Amino acid sequence: MKRENKRVITVVDVIILVSLILFGYLIYRTAFANTHADTYEIDYVVKVSSVRSELSDRIANGDEVYSMDGEYMGRVTAYEARTSVLPSGQTMPGCSDLYITIEAQATGDGVVAGSEIYVEGEYELYTPGLYFKCVCINVKK
């Protein structure tokens, strides 16, 4: 009598195969995920509410903007100081609202340095001369 040597796939074989595939995928994602990311330029405008007027000149075109984590968020390309107006219509003496346009390189759906930039998003940013909490009011891709 001849004995046939048939290979039977076992549950252990399937588990090992799936584990190897997942391990390979994880290595691929961590090693090559950022090399395929396309970057593009965006301009986003943030509003800084109620800044004391004497502080509104501490920002300039060309200033580099950073997040509180120290991540580079772009470069100031324009800014404007407007008189702060309360919801009641009264002006706030000695205070200005700053509108700052920032140019940055984004990936994916408007992600700059790990932060998604979107209208009504709140951010804490700083330049060499000014720290500010702000709200994004416009994004141009």
What is the rounded distance in angstroms from the CA atom of residue 135 to the CA atom of residue 119?
8
Q: What string of pLDDT tens digits covers the 141 residues of the chain? A: 566 666 777 888 889 989 999 998 888 877 766 554 588 999 999 999 999 988 888 999 999 999 999 999 999 999 999 999 888 989 988 999 999 999 999 998 899 999 999 999 999 999 999 999 999 999 998
**Residue 6 in domain:** no
Helix (H, G, I), strand (E, B) or coil at 82: strand
The residues, ordered by sequence, that sit 6+ positions from 72 with a Cβ below 8 Å of its Cβ are 64, 65, 66, 113
Domain-embedded: residue 81: yes
pTM of the model: 0.72
User: Residue 33 CB: number of other CB atoms within 10 A?
Assistant: 9
Q: Tokens standing for 116?
A: 């998604």
What pLDDT, on the 0 to 100 scale, is given for residue 140?
Answer: 94
State the residue range of the domain holding 77. 38-140
Task: Give domain status of residue 29, yes or no.
Answer: no
Overall number of domains in the chain: 1
Give CA–CA dist 118/111, Å, rounded. Answer: 9
Instruction: Name the region of 110 (left: φ>0; alpha: ψ -120 to 50; beta: rest).
Output: left
- Residue 32 falls inside a structural domain: no
Domain CATH number, residue 83: 2.40.30.110
Query: How many whole angstroms separate alpha carbon 21 and alpha carbon 138?
Result: 43
